[in-house]
Amino acid sequence: MTRTANINGTGLFYVMGPSGSGKDSLLRALHDRLGPDDRVVVAHRYITRDADANEASVSLSADEFARRAGLGCLALHWRSHGLHYGIGLEIEQWMARGLKVIVNGSREYLPHAVARYPQLCAVHVRVKPEVLAARLRQRGREPEDAIARRLARATEAFAVPAQCRLVEIDNSGALADSAEAFARLVGVVSAPAS
């Protein structure tokens, strides 16, 4: 039995949803609610592009990302939209300590994540198409044709393994409402910081 098998079920929440659905905002809002007694950690994500100030990401060159993946430093890693994304192996130490860990994942990679962590809870953040289109344009990262591709991809079905617990959070409205639903899901009891 591997070490990974021994820590399954200790509290991994795998957040996913289309680009622009507000995953980073939701993770930031959850982080802002954490008090000293909340045993919850929002993991940073490694990515091969410049990290946005609004996301919990660490920028790595493609070579450094490949080096870390080759050294076994990444618990989860995938490629999407020409970029590499990864979650560090440190999440296993945190879960072994009984902490609940929140990661920003990918819908396409979910079956692989469930294969490694069968007891994870998948959290799908969704938004209405018109809200998603407005957010993608406001973000200003991509040209209109790339936005059109992201909008088309957002409506595609994705594979959810039969044994996987899936929770949907609608983030089309007020962030405070979706953040409250997310906080209840992961067991955060602290009020938002003022």
Could you tell me where the DSSP H helices lie in the chain?
Answer: 3-7, 23-33, 62-70, 90-96, 110-116, 129-139, 144-154, 175-186
- Residue 84 identity: H
Distance CA 56, CA 15 (A): 13
Binding residues for ATP: 17-24
Tokens found for residue 47: 């990515």
Q: Quick count: other Cβ atoms within 10 Å of Cβ 13?
A: 22
Sign, CA torsion 50/183/105/7:
positive
Report the amino acid identity of residue 10.
T
| Binding-site annotation: residue ranges | 17-24
Distance CA 124, CA 20 (A): 13
Please tell me the distance from the alpha carbon of residue 10 to that of residue 82, in angstroms, as a whole number. Answer: 32
